[in-house]
Structure 1
């Protein structure tokens, strides 16, 4: 082949219009034996292949290609023959053809439009071979192909440019810049050429890193502009390709990078949807869903809100009409995507919202309440997953029966839902979740890697996080599966590949850019339910029999290993660790014998002794620190009195406890009650009860481990407490005051020296009186007498 440029003789080679081997499925042709070729045709084909393999320049290669394509369409060539052609042609030739056309090389013997036609046809044919499509040389042509689709075939006309420069010189006019003096030519982007370009892009897109390759080469922006200009095949082929890119794991980054262009595109697509007939809308639903942004991205955009309002207005008649299961599935998937964006805010009147939830619940029941062994088709699984998302969006409203405790939840609630409607929704949800339990009871461990199983498991866990009173016996019966499933993934029993692929594509109220599967995810979803269930006698007995505490300790240990290395300013809060502590706290409160005898609680105590001193210096993890403090103290109060030397780790833990509990309070001015410190006040709704429970548990630890009173004196904790209380001797709320008094009474009863310290402190001008601590005052008087 020629090294520089394409040396083509138009007398030797006539340009084929478009070789049939540019079709997308060329590589799937049958073998030549079954292709219908005669013996003489096969002999000619072999001679052409020989000529192609031994060609000395580009002209010979193109001549041989022309003969092959005229002799036999690519669809009749077997893969081996196609591969021989690809090896002979290589990727360099079509790439040089395009570069030569765009740059206007003088050495070329063919017009630019013919070079472009040849180059794209060859690239389209090459891209049907999986080993060729990922070649760096082919990938380097993607920007040129995108330019063709966006702007049509354009090139620099060197001949016209030279004539223009000569005329300019003879007239004596001033010389313009080189860029301005170039003359560009353009020809029409015909369908064959556009089809070849899209064949190449689609072939690249299906590569493992295909979407990433196209993103970095500007595909999203070029395709958006091509659609905006209504270029050839941009709607037929460009939109589906964009939809594929926007449904891949680059979705979040694409929206961040090209939000304005994608919003404009979504507006155009949604306008077409709203103007279409009901039948056309049904077919367009999947396309609309693909072009919606991830939840959280562009959430403040007024343009997007108006688009969503208009889409709901067009969807309502479809939901209210009688549809086939397939068409209803398409509509429900789009509805689920819209709910992910703005909740019930723009959905419509309460009556319609109830209808939507009811239809989703009916689909779940029909899809899951099949005889054991019935296989659920992939499309139905996709529909049911969307129904789960609709059910989740309705859960909070139904379970709270219309009461919204948090104003931030208003946009996710069904506004105007009456109590009766809320109960109807809850009833429909209960039947749907009963169907999920029925389905999960049939699952075999060999199917644990099934993505749809995970979707169903997750949906039920979200329900159990909100509602544990309904279906209680069924839930208790299902606990062995729930724990077994979560444990299997957490311990790495399954491969997790199917789940990893699925999680990278799904978005369920998730604004992260690239959600990847973690083996801990199943347990994370189950944790809120375990926090509720471990507080009830019946479920807790089953959880103990399944060794659930050990699983929770392992999860907490693994999570702490990840957090430990993070700096105090960048530490990321993980609510799952706090929930695991909450469930373990229920066991520590209600199952003292199990705590004393189960080795996992010894491991937990060691973990907490290590974690709390570190957490003191990570203010962003205050809630986790409060959980660890309370849990450690609740375990510590169960210890038997011992004369053995105190371990350093234990001493560090209780020293950290004393500092941590003090940090929650700050002194007030004059005779006002002490105040909650600024850092704690921000999280007081979550930490206030834990702080009070820690004080009560500290009193229990003092009774069980008398050495702690020596530490209290060494740390000056009593003096610090009374200084913070000030002259009022009070905390801002009575429950906190009662908890503080309880621990002070326990200290006084246990330690004579502490009793004397307090008596001296209340006489000090800088410390408070005992007016707010009547029980402590009475104990001090009794001891004196």
Structure 2
């Protein structure tokens, strides 16, 4: 192509150029230019026509149909020839050809179909070359080409096929380099990088960790050193980058302490709300990725900053949620989510992390601040429940999430507010559970119940019911909240939840979350069953279905010691339901129920053994789990004793299974002083109940009277002696 020949088409250029006052409209100008392109008989004329097309594309907001016509006329063939010509040594001509090619590519990139075209994707190296020219001085006439190149990259980053190419080390390195050097277009480089991190963050970090770390180190260093407005600008850039990182723990890095210094500089200084908010958001992100220990500083000893951070999160929460200005609260939503995340991480750290060695004054201040913050959260939710739009408010999801985490640990503060809010919480978690289960069944969505997110989430993205379960363990132990749970349809909801998590457990509970959920659900149902028999009777259909499910579930888990805690929960809850529903027996399921009881007796029988020197001890397989199942075992034996008096077939089953013989034989051999008092009490109650049934005579023949004397079981002794008379 010869640049000198451009002047030969002056007439065509004038007729096609942008105009005003009575001159051709955009569509007509496009028609004229495309006709000139079709008539072109030489490279010079083609080039001139392409210049005209590019001029119109830059000057007009062309619609999709017009862009399609331009592509049909130009295609990639001309663009490839332009780029080939641009590869020649003449710098001036090369720049012109490449600029024209990039402008036309920008026109085509607005079509999702064209931006994913292999011919478009293979232009990525050219686009990277264009944006990297900004490393040197950029002339005004070159800026448009660089802008076009970035716009194409942004559009590509939104489409799956070209996005894979953009995740390569060559591209990420170039984008990071532009941001590190603050070269022309660095803000667009950040836009492209954020899109890539949003769609495939883990993949980008895995392939490009050195480049990403280098960028973050550069930004963190600047963040630490700057003491002017640039400090706050870098703070926002770091927040944007880290918010696009996958929600998984990050490895320790050289730039993390630098961010700590920068954040602490801001938050420990007198700054405006506008300057403080981004720093709080960045601190929340760092805590999410590195854990709460990050807030203790590089030496892990800075309790002062950690306490300040939590205090600020509490204050910001109260200021925003207690404000009567709805517009102000809306403007603070992203900051609120960051504060919620900090509070959630703080609760987890204080309950599960290493001790902070806080003095009494610090403990009181911390508890007071957090109680105030969660009082504000409940105040906000109390108001939100009367708004018809609450199902469409993502902030409701975030508020309920953090409240659930707090309620799981705090069982005494703000009781009345919690009780009043419980009906609305049930309504919210019901909606969340329905949407989560529906989305997972159709899209296999990943669980998100255990990780706080730095964005406003939808009901379908967070299983709020799963998060509320630990709190329900505490609440169902008390009369008022348990009654409200029953009134609000909580029993039916929990039954659905149990079925869902059981199916998920059977299908392969890779993260173990459903096993924990099932264990927690058993505790909730136990509270209801033990303390509110009337609720069980009035919801007999739900509880009968649950009993049948427990029978099937125990058969699945009882053979695997790894699931011993779950098996004990199934067994004890099942026995408790069997006792309560004894008069609602379903003869159709009697066979399955008897098998369940048989497996329960086997589970109980295997708990203890005779060790050396005739010591009574927990069997070896159970020892790692005994701290978690000891109370369940005691409760299970107690409930079994009560079942013997109301289930006619149970005494003979205990005899035929060999369970009674096992207890008598064990207690005969072991040294009495090695049996714990609680164990003796429940064994005494069990054997005493058996003695009052039709198998009491067989019990006496086994030597139960000697056992009664050996362990001072007076009630059992009296029952056996009365039977003999």
Q: Who is 1:655 aligned against?
A: 598
Match of 2:265 among 302, 314, 317: 317
Contact 2:502-2:514 at 8 Å conserved across structures = no
Correspondence 1:72-221 to 2 at 5 A: 72=56, 74-79=58-63, 82-84=66-68, 86-89=70-73, 92-93=76-77, 96-97=80-81, 100=84, 116-130=98-112, 132-142=114-124, 145-146=127-128, 194-207=146-159, 209=160, 213-214=164-165, 217=168, 221=172
Q: Which moved more, 1:733-742 or 1:465-474?
A: 733-742
Q: CA deviation at 1:628?
A: 1.6
CA distance in structure 2 between the aligned counterparts of 1:94 and 1:490, rounded to whole angstroms: 55
CA distance in structure 2 between the aligned counterparts of 1:130 and 1:691, rounded to whole angstroms: 63
**Gaps in structure 2 of 5+ consecutive residues:** 8-15, 136-140
CA distance in structure 1 between the aligned counterparts of 2:523 and 2:211, rounded to whole angstroms: 46
Contact 1:698-1:743 at 8 Å conserved across structures = yes
Q: CA deviation at 1:152?
A: 10
Is 2:376 the partner of 1:435? yes
Q: Which moved more, 1:647-656 or 1:133-142?
A: 133-142
Contact 2:696-2:720 at 8 Å conserved across structures = no
Q: CA deviation at 1:36?
A: 6.1
Q: CA deviation at 1:321?
A: 2.4
CA distance in structure 2 between the aligned counterparts of 1:739 and 1:389, rounded to whole angstroms: 46
Is 2:658 the partner of 1:716? yes
CA distance in structure 2 between the aligned counterparts of 1:494 and 1:40, rounded to whole angstroms: 61
TM normalised by structure 2 equals: 0.82
Instruction: Give secondary structure in 2 for the equivalent of 1:39.
Output: coil
Instruction: Give secondary structure in 2 for the equivalent of 1:442.
Output: helix
Q: Who is 2:522 aligned against?
A: 581
Q: Who is 1:672 aligned against?
A: 615
Q: 1:658 to 1:508 in 2, by over 3 A?
A: closer
Contact 1:668-1:726 at 8 Å conserved across structures = no
Q: CA deviation at 1:533?
A: 0.9
Is 2:247 the partner of 1:298? no
Is 2:671 the partner of 1:703? no
Instruction: Give secondary structure in 2 for the equivalent of 1:535.
Output: coil
CA distance in structure 1 between the aligned counterparts of 2:238 and 2:573, rounded to whole angstroms: 49
Contact 2:554-2:570 at 8 Å conserved across structures = yes
Q: CA deviation at 1:463?
A: 1.4
Contact 2:169-2:208 at 8 Å conserved across structures = no
Q: Who is 2:223 aligned against?
A: 273
Q: Which moved more, 1:532-541 or 1:734-743?
A: 734-743
CA distance in structure 2 between the aligned counterparts of 1:699 and 1:149, rounded to whole angstroms: 80
Q: Who is 1:616 aligned against?
A: 558
Contact 2:320-2:329 at 8 Å conserved across structures = no
Q: CA deviation at 1:80?
A: 5.7
Q: CA deviation at 1:482?
A: 0.7
CA distance in structure 1 between the aligned counterparts of 2:607 and 2:453, rounded to whole angstroms: 34
Contact 2:687-2:716 at 8 Å conserved across structures = no
Correspondence 1:719-734 to 2 at 5 A: 719-721=661-663, 727-728=669-670, 733-734=676-677
Q: CA deviation at 1:771?
A: 4.6
Is 2:31 the partner of 1:49? no
Contact 1:479-1:542 at 8 Å conserved across structures = yes
Q: 1:518 to 1:662 in 2, by over 3 A?
A: farther
CA distance in structure 2 between the aligned counterparts of 1:54 and 1:758, rounded to whole angstroms: 112
Q: 1:471 to 1:278 in 2, by over 3 A?
A: farther
CA distance in structure 1 between the aligned counterparts of 2:212 and 2:665, rounded to whole angstroms: 61
Is 2:293 the partner of 1:333? no
Deviations 1:679-719 (A, max 9, x none): x3333333222222222212222222131222222222234
Contact 2:173-2:211 at 8 Å conserved across structures = no
Correspondence 1:310-709 to 2 at 5 A: 310-340=258-288, 341-348=290-297, 349-371=302-324, 374-375=326-327, 379-395=331-347, 409-410=353-354, 415-443=356-384, 444-492=387-435, 509=451, 518=460, 521-566=463-508, 573-598=514-539, 599-640=541-582, 647-678=590-621, 680-709=622-651
Q: 1:749 to 1:445 in 2, by over 3 A?
A: farther
Deviations 1:455-476 (A, max 9, x none): 0111111111111321111111
Q: Who is 2:11 aligned against?
A: none
Match of 1:241 among 169, 186, 192: 192
Q: CA deviation at 1:199?
A: 2.0
CA distance in structure 2 between the aligned counterparts of 1:651 and 1:319, rounded to whole angstroms: 64
Instruction: Give secondary structure in 2 for the equivalent of 1:448.
Output: helix
Instruction: Give secondary structure in 2 for the equivalent of 1:298.
Output: coil
CA distance in structure 2 between the aligned counterparts of 1:224 and 1:669, rounded to whole angstroms: 70
Q: 1:624 to 1:643 in 2, by over 3 A?
A: closer
Contact 1:97-1:118 at 8 Å conserved across structures = no
Contact 1:249-1:505 at 8 Å conserved across structures = no
CA distance in structure 1 between the aligned counterparts of 2:29 and 2:576, rounded to whole angstroms: 89
CA distance in structure 1 between the aligned counterparts of 2:518 and 2:42, rounded to whole angstroms: 68
CA distance in structure 2 between the aligned counterparts of 1:651 and 1:577, rounded to whole angstroms: 23
Q: CA deviation at 1:359?
A: 2.0
Higher relative contact order (CA 8 A, sep 6+): 1
CA distance in structure 2 between the aligned counterparts of 1:56 and 1:494, rounded to whole angstroms: 64
CA distance in structure 2 between the aligned counterparts of 1:56 and 1:555, rounded to whole angstroms: 73
Q: CA deviation at 1:362?
A: 1.9
Q: 1:396 to 1:226 in 2, by over 3 A?
A: closer
CA RMSD of aligned residues (A): 4.3
CA distance in structure 1 between the aligned counterparts of 2:489 and 2:524, rounded to whole angstroms: 13
Query: Number of aligned pairs?
Result: 691
Instruction: Give secondary structure in 2 for the equivalent of 1:323.
Output: coil
Is 2:700 the partner of 1:752? no
Is 2:25 the partner of 1:39? no
**Greater percentage in helix:** 2
CA distance in structure 1 between the aligned counterparts of 2:331 and 2:560, rounded to whole angstroms: 47
CA distance in structure 1 between the aligned counterparts of 2:544 and 2:467, rounded to whole angstroms: 26
Deviations 1:284-343 (A, max 9, x none): 2232234445554334x3xx2x53333222222211223332222111101111222220
TM normalised by structure 1 equals: 0.76
Q: CA deviation at 1:481?
A: 0.8
Q: 1:650 to 1:321 in 2, by over 3 A?
A: same
Q: Who is 1:27 aligned against?
A: none
Q: Who is 1:173 aligned against?
A: none
Instruction: Give secondary structure in 2 for the equivalent of 1:297.
Output: coil
Contact 1:729-1:770 at 8 Å conserved across structures = no
Q: CA deviation at 1:358?
A: 2.2
Contact 1:211-1:245 at 8 Å conserved across structures = no
Q: CA deviation at 1:744?
A: 3.6
CA distance in structure 1 between the aligned counterparts of 2:514 and 2:586, rounded to whole angstroms: 37
Contact 1:336-1:389 at 8 Å conserved across structures = yes
Q: 1:505 to 1:770 in 2, by over 3 A?
A: closer
Instruction: Give secondary structure in 1 for the equivalent of 2:645.
Output: helix
Contact 1:91-1:137 at 8 Å conserved across structures = no
Q: Who is 2:10 aligned against?
A: none
Q: Which moved more, 1:324-333 or 1:638-647?
A: 638-647
Q: 1:40 to 1:541 in 2, by over 3 A?
A: closer
Instruction: Give secondary structure in 2 for the equivalent of 1:674.
Output: strand
